[in-house]
Amino acid sequence: MARRRGRAGSFEPVRGGGATITLDEVEISILRSLAVQLLELVGPGDQPADADDDPLAQLFAEGPTKPPDDPALARLFPDAYEETEDASEFRRFTENDLRARKREDALAMIRVLDAGGPVLKLTEDQARQWLGTLNDLRLTIGTRLGVTEDEADELYHLPDGDPRKPLVMAYLWLGGLQESLVETLLR
């Protein structure tokens, strides 16, 4: 009997770099759905329409100067400085690139998931992109749930009838995947 690469639901290192994981169809479907939702949430940002057509314009495209109104987006794109003027300037020149990177990372995850499973093999670059997307998904879900350090232990003890339970289960599962991938990349 051939040995399957990767323990179910846990990342394993690949010789030469990267990682592998075995996911069932339901897990792949959930992860893909969450990544697509993240793409929709992150969106293109406030980049000028003509900047997509002109590479030089892309270099000088200015982004938003205020934090997003959506709490999840504000968590994904926090202010870099407490001072309003410095934070606005920094955001104006970095948020569009940060949005683009988050989209690229989520798309990389979707491409691997679409390539087929149950055994998924990630290159080193793909593993780093997955790590970024797993982190973004956890931050988004955690924000939607209102997770704080003080209340994190409560999540493990929600009654089955609590309407937050499915989202909490996804949050905890993503945390396990993220931890497993970090440990694998550090080996």
Please count the residues of the chain: 187
117, 25 Cβ separation under 8 angstroms: yes
Q: What is the pTM of this model?
A: 0.82
Model pLDDT for residues 154-165, shown as the tens digit of each residue: 778 888 899 989
Structure tokens at 76: 């994904």
pLDDT digits (tens, 9 = 90+) for 45-67: 554 444 455 555 555 556 655 76
Strand 119-122 with 12-13, pairing: unpaired
Q: Over 60: is that where the pLDDT of 146 sits?
A: yes
Higher pLDDT, 5 or 163: 163
Neighbouring-strand partners of residue 12: 20
pLDDT band at 2 (very low <50, low <70, confident <90, very high): very low
Q: How many Å from the N-terminal Cα to the C-terminal Cα in the chain? A: 27
